[in-house]
Amino acid sequence: MASKSNNEKPKRKGLSSGVVERLSLYLNCLLQFKESGYKYVSSKEIGFCTGINPAEVRRDLIKIGSVGKKGLGYPVNELVKVIQKSLRSETPEKVALVGAGNLGTAIAGFEGISRHGFKIEAIFDIDPNKIGKRINKIPVYDVKYLEEVIKKKNIRIAIIATPKEAALEVFQKLVAAGVRIVINYTDTMIKAPPGVKVHNANPVVEILHTLYFLSKAED
């Protein structure tokens, strides 16, 4: 049996979807702690912020090679970097937003997007009263230039916040433009082709899901 070269790096083990989801929650809280001036944070504080058992928090952080300091906790800045690296989000990503209505405008103004290193680079719409203007300093383009602009700016992530009737057509244009991650905020369920990841984020579905467990807890 051939021995491994000393220079050969071990393969990076993938994280389960559950761990990835929890790490995303930890990161969101850690960035808030950082903005509030925290230098160190405990697993108990992270657990309180996320609603996750502190023991689970510690197990997850151990999996990505992070161990807290006794009496101090986890250094916030360092832990943010470790989680970002684990989630492969340490490099800022450009985002396209399709739909400049009430929902799109709210998304464009949501500070959490920039907090996590994402930048909405372009907004697309069909309304001539919005095209050529800016929303939260972001330029609004005619949707007919969607593929051209996305390719030129090398955007890989997009958010669909259009009326549901337009969602599928918009999605097809995004895929043709090279977008690989799509967050769909419409009622239209979109099935992703190979190489593209779609997250259908229907707020009504989220509310119904939460309502079920709330009602169950009150039974």
More confident residue, 46 or 219: 46
Residue 150: pLDDT band by 50, 70, 90 thresholds? Answer: very high
Query: Does the structure show a pLDDT above 70 at 204?
Result: no
**Per-residue confidence (pLDDT) for residue 112, from 0 to 100:** 81
In a domain, 2, yes or no: no
**Per-residue confidence (pLDDT) for residue 5, from 0 to 100:** 41
Looking at the fold, whether 75 and 98 belong to one and the same domain comes out as no
Question: How far is the C-alpha of 79 from the C-alpha of 22, rounded, in Å?
Answer: 14
**Per-residue confidence (pLDDT) for residue 68, from 0 to 100:** 85
Query: What value does the mean pLDDT take over residues 23-51?
Result: 93
In the chain, the percentage of residues whose pLDDT exceeds 90 is 65
Residue 3: pLDDT band by 50, 70, 90 thresholds? Answer: very low
Q: What is the CATH number of the domain that holds 189?
A: 3.40.50.720
In a domain, 160, yes or no: yes
Name the least confident of 14-28, 29-43, 159-173: 14-28
**Per-residue confidence (pLDDT) for residue 2, from 0 to 100:** 43
Q: Which of 38, 66, 85 is the last residue of a domain?
A: 85
Looking at the fold, whether 114 and 176 belong to one and the same domain comes out as yes
Residues 6+ apart with CB under 8 A from 92: 117, 118, 119
Query: Does the structure show a pLDDT above 80 at 206?
Result: no
Looking at the fold, whether 144 and 192 belong to one and the same domain comes out as yes
Q: Domain of residue 129: give its range.
A: 93-205
| Mean pLDDT score of the chain | 87
**Per-residue confidence (pLDDT) for residue 182, from 0 to 100:** 94
Q: Which of 46, 66, 85 is the last residue of a domain?
A: 85
In a domain, 3, yes or no: no
Looking at the fold, whether 79 and 97 belong to one and the same domain comes out as no
Give the pLDDT confidence of 81-109 residue by residue, as tens digits.
999 889 887 777 899 999 999 999 999 99
Query: What value does the mean pLDDT take over residues 181-185?
Result: 93
* Structural domains counted in the chain: 2
Q: Which of 85, 114, 143 is the last residue of a domain?
A: 85
In a domain, 216, yes or no: no
Residues 6+ apart with CB under 8 A from 7: none
Report the DSSP beta bridge partners of residue 40: 75
Measured at the CA of 41, the angle between CA 116 and CA 111, to 5 degrees, comes to 25
Looking at the fold, whether 152 and 184 belong to one and the same domain comes out as yes
